[in-house]
């Protein structure tokens, strides 16, 4: 039986949320390094509070001048991200032109370098466990609650980007879906909190968000009889971004993944180059789970991978289909090991992860409809047909 019965809730946050701001800056730094050196090692953290941004981390490049170039360009890179998000008011969020930016770049430890790098035998950048998930609830194989919450954020963000409305960049959404016998039957509650201009009347903002966001994303046929929408339930929301709350890279890991629909190993993604399996192994785990569900080998699938620092092969591979699989989970795990190269070098090669593609992932999640399979290759369904064929052949041989 599915793990879901009753009510299940997921959330999403906008590009203007202070934690998401920090994710975007950290991934912009990563992309800047990869443009100069595809083999750069990057572990970038960003902290935002009031009118100050601190960018720090450990880095290594083949050429010292590439390290120096990104370090020198980091302040303007930060300001560009702030402008892109839509900030610009010192009193209510942060002013890209006047805010203070502090950069603290360190060089990667030689001990980590020696333990991790080794060509085709590249070891994992750290120990850890990573999860990937897919479910046949939406065409993009993502959980319905997460998908709808993300769509709400995307729609409200469009209004911010178009200008002319009362909305400012910071916001978040939450969607509660009712399940029966493991299947979603409707949306029960929507919570939408969005920053707005100081002079705007709260009721006018609520009416705008209802008509132009909620009613555009949650059609009537998806609403249960108990449906309710809570819009800016705490009242006016005029101060946002780093002015309203501190921000830190990696604090929105559930928003980044599956909205709580499966476990999370704990590691964040943003600001980390693909030798860090926190990121790359989570991407390949999604690739595996999505192809299993697309191959109709299960309706819901979670894949767990675990690694030891400096060791190339995963120490464990686990597949869980919650009773929806057409073959035993252990057989699926065996097939996964045969079909995927799960070493860091293999993942990086097969998913082409040395490209500067990461800034795009720092908002609206790292998986699902907001990712392009041509650009973000962990979303491809390139192994589904072969996996289904191989496992059907194995089943016939076992019967024979």
Model pLDDT, residue 389: 85
Q: What is the mean pLDDT of the chain?
A: 93
User: For 109-113, 144-148, 347-351, which range has the lowest pLDDT when averaged over its residues?
Assistant: 109-113
If you average pLDDT over residues 53-62, what whole number do you get? 96
Please determine, for residue 2, whether its predicted confidence score (pLDDT) is greater than 60. no
- Which residues partner with 316 through β-bridges? 306
pTM: 0.94
Model confidence pLDDT, tens digit, residues 327-369:
999 999 999 999 999 999 999 999 999 999 999 999 999 999 9
Please determine, for residue 115, whether its predicted confidence score (pLDDT) is greater than 70. no
Model pLDDT, residue 366: 98
If you average pLDDT over residues 308-317, what whole number do you get? 92
Model confidence pLDDT, tens digit, residues 18-36:
999 999 999 999 999 999 9
Whole-angstrom Cα distance, residue 381 to residue 183?
A: 23
Q: Give the orientation angle of helix 64-85 with respect to helix 18-36, to 10 degrees.
A: 140
Is residue 26 within 8 A of residue 324, CB to CB? The reply is no
Whole-angstrom Cα distance, residue 208 to residue 98?
A: 32
| Residue 49 burial (C-beta neighbours within 10 Å; 0-12, 13-18, 19+) | middle
Model confidence pLDDT, tens digit, residues 147-178:
999 999 999 999 999 887 899 999 999 999 99
Please determine, for residue 270, whether its predicted confidence score (pLDDT) is greater than 80. yes
- Which residues partner with 10 through β-bridges? 175
How many helices (H) and strands (E) are present in the chain, helices listed first? Answer: 12, 11
Model confidence pLDDT, tens digit, residues 189-236:
999 999 999 999 999 999 999 999 999 999 999 999 999 999 999 999
Within a 10 A sphere around the Cβ of 104, how many other Cβ atoms? 11
What are the φ/ψ torsions at residue 239 (nearest 5 degrees)?
Answer: -105, 120
Would you place residue 1 in the very low, low, confident or very high pLDDT band (cuts 50, 70, 90)?
very low
Whole-angstrom Cα distance, residue 375 to residue 265?
A: 25
Strands 100-107 and 52-60: parallel
Per DSSP, the three-state class of 10 is strand
Model pLDDT, residue 109: 66
Q: Following DSSP, what letter does each residue of 281-310 receive, concatenated?
A: HHHHHHHHHHHHHHTTS-SEEEEEEEE-BT
Cβ density class 7-28: b for 16+ within 10 Å, e for less = ebbbbbbbbbbbbbbbbbbbbb
Percent of residues, the chain, with pLDDT higher than 90:
86
- Nearest alpha-carbon partner for 338 in 281, 387, 373: 387
Would you place residue 252 in the very low, low, confident or very high pLDDT band (cuts 50, 70, 90)?
very high
User: For 105-109, 185-189, 235-239, which range has the lowest pLDDT when averaged over its residues?
Assistant: 105-109
Model pLDDT, residue 399: 41
Per DSSP, the three-state class of 213 is helix
Model pLDDT, residue 116: 58
Model pLDDT, residue 398: 53
What is the dihedral angle through the alpha carbons of 297, 138, 140, 259, rounded to the nearest 10 degrees? -100
Model pLDDT, residue 204: 96
Model pLDDT, residue 400: 43
């Amino acid at each position: 039986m599915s793990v879901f019965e009753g009510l299940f809730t997921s959330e999403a946050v906008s590009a203007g949320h202070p934690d998401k701001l920090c994710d975007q800056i950290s991934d912009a730094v990563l992309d800047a390094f990869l443009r100069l050196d595809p083999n750069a090692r990057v572990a970038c953290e960003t902290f935002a509070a009031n009118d100050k941004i601190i960018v720090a981390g450990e880095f290594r490049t083949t050429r010292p001048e590439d390290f120096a170039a990104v370090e020198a360009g980091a302040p303007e890179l930060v300001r560009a991200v702030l402008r892109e998000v839509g900030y610009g008011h010192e009193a209510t969020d942060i002013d890209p032109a006047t805010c203070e930016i502090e950069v603290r770049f360190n060089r990667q430890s030689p001990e980590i370098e020696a333990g991790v790098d080794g060509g085709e035998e590249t070891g994992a950048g750290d120990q850890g466990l990573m999860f990937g998930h897919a479910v046949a609830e939406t065409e993009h194989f993502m959980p319905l609650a997460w998908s709808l919450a993300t769509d709400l954020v995307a729609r409200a963000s469009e209004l911010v980007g178009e200008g002319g409305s009362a909305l400012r960049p910071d916001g978040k959404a939450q969607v509660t879906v009712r399940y029966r016998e493991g299947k979603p039957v409707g949306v029960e509650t929507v919570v939408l909190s969005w920053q707005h201009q100081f002079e705007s009347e709260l009721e006018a903002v609520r009416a705008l968000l209802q008509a132009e966001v909620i009613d555009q994303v949650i059609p009537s046929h998806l609403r249960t009889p108990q449906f309710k929408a809570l819009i800016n339930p705490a009242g006016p929301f005029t101060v946002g971004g780093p002015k309203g709350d501190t921000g830190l890279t990696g604090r929105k890991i559930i928003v980044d993944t599956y909205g709580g629909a499966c476990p999370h190993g704990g590691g964040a993604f943003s600001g980390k180059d693909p030798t860090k399996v926190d990121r790359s192994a989570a991407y390949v785990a999604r690739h595996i789970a999505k192809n299993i569900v697309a191959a109709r080998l299960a309706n819901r699938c979670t894949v767990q991978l675990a690694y030891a620092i400096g060791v190339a092969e995963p120490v464990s591979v686990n597949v869980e289909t919650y009773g929806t699989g057409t073959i035993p989970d252990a057989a699926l795990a065996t097939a996964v090991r045969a079909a995927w190269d799960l070493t860091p070098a293999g993942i990086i090669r097969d998913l082409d992860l040395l490209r500067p593609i990461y800034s795009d992932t720092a908002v609206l999640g790292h998986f699902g409809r907001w990712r392009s399979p041509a650009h973000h290759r962990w979303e491809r369904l390139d192994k589904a047909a072969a996996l289904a064929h191989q496992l059907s052949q194995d089943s016939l041989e076992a019967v024979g």
